[in-house]
Amino acid sequence: MYGADLLEFARGPAIQGSLIILVAGILWRLTGILFLPRKADHSQPREAIAARISGGLGNIVKRSWPYAPFAKRVGYSDTISYTFHIGLAIVVFFYQPHILFIKSITGLSWPALPNSVIYVSGVVTLAALIAMIVRRMSHPVLRLLSNFDDYFSWFVTTAPIITGLMAVAHFGGRYETLLAIHILSIALLFIWLPFGKLMHTFLFAISRATEGAAFARKGAKS
């Protein structure tokens, strides 16, 4: 297959199909969780509804920072996690071709950052992702806790970064072929996202808010 044919496939049916799976999968998971039956809590609430809502929302923010007594122990993983999450956000949302991709689907667009900023972010993100997987594989407890989902989720997150940097650098093939592989790697990420641990993209806020609201109801500080 000629590189341009592969690119046409990637830009057309592949990405469209993956978007359909992504949207359907996310909605499936979200509604499935939100409509799950919950055990009735017959105890007297310690706080009013407003406090429970603010407790839920506050917990989303609070859980974003390490708990002080554990700060030293989780400092390394938190730093790496923040580095790659922020780097990934910069690359995904502020690179002009990515903005154009989002615009072609949603109609929304915003100003891009210079490519040099994107390239540096991409490299830093990749370094952080590598540091992360090295830690997961070398830490005895983490290794025991890890399963296929953890490694595959890492792979589908890292693959678009690697293929994107290769496309930008024209490394390993013709640009259109590398671009097609990059788009196909994103399609794989879209397909996997709703069904693995990457669903935390959406569930992290729901789980933290649920926990925060439950704590607030009981009058506990989260």
Partner 1 sequence: MADDETIGARLQQRGISRRTFLKFCTAMTSLLALPPTMAAEMADKLAQTKRPPVLWLPFQECTGCLESITRSDTVTLEHLIFDLISLDYQHTLMAAAGSAAEAARNHVVKTMPGEYLVIIDGSVPVGNAGYGTIAGVSFYDVLMETVSGAAAIINVGTCSSFGGIPRANPNPTGAMPVTDLVKDKPIINVPGCPPIPVVITGVLAHYLTFGVVPELDELHRPKAFFGETIHDRCYRRPFYDQGKFAKTFDDEGARNGWCLYELGCKGPVTYNACATLKWNEGTSFPIESGHGCIGCASPDFWDRGSFYTPIAADTWHNGAAIGAAAIAGAAIGVGVATVARKRQGKITKTPGKIPPS
Q: Could you say which DSSP state residue 11 is in?
A: I
Other C-beta atoms lying within 10 Å of the C-beta of residue 75: 11
115 binds partner 1 (CB under 8 A): yes
Return the H-helix or E-strand segment holding 169. helix 148-169
Interface with partner 1 (CB under 8 A), residue from 1, 6, 21, 80: 21
Residue 100 or 220 having the CB closest to partner 1 = 100
By CB under 8 A, tell whether 144 contacts partner 1: no
Q: Terminus-to-terminus CA distance in the chain, angstroms?
A: 56
> CB neighbours of 86 closer than 8 A, spacing ≥ 6?
none
Please give the residues from 163 up to 202 whose contact with partner 1 meets the rule CB under 8 A: 170, 175-176, 179
Distance CA 214, CA 138 (A): 36
Q: Give, to the nearest 10 degrees, the angle between helix 200-217 and helix 49-62.
A: 130
| Least distance between partner 1 and beta carbon 12 (Å) | 4
Instruction: Tell me which of 62, 66, 86, 97 binds partner 1, using CB under 8 A.
Output: 97
Q: Residues 77, 96, 207, 222: which binds partner 1 (CB under 8 A)?
A: 96
By CB under 8 A, residue 78 contacts partner 1: no
Give residues in contact with partner 1 (CB under 8 A).
2-4, 7-8, 11-13, 15-16, 19-21, 23-37, 96-98, 100-101, 103-105, 112-116, 170, 175-176, 179
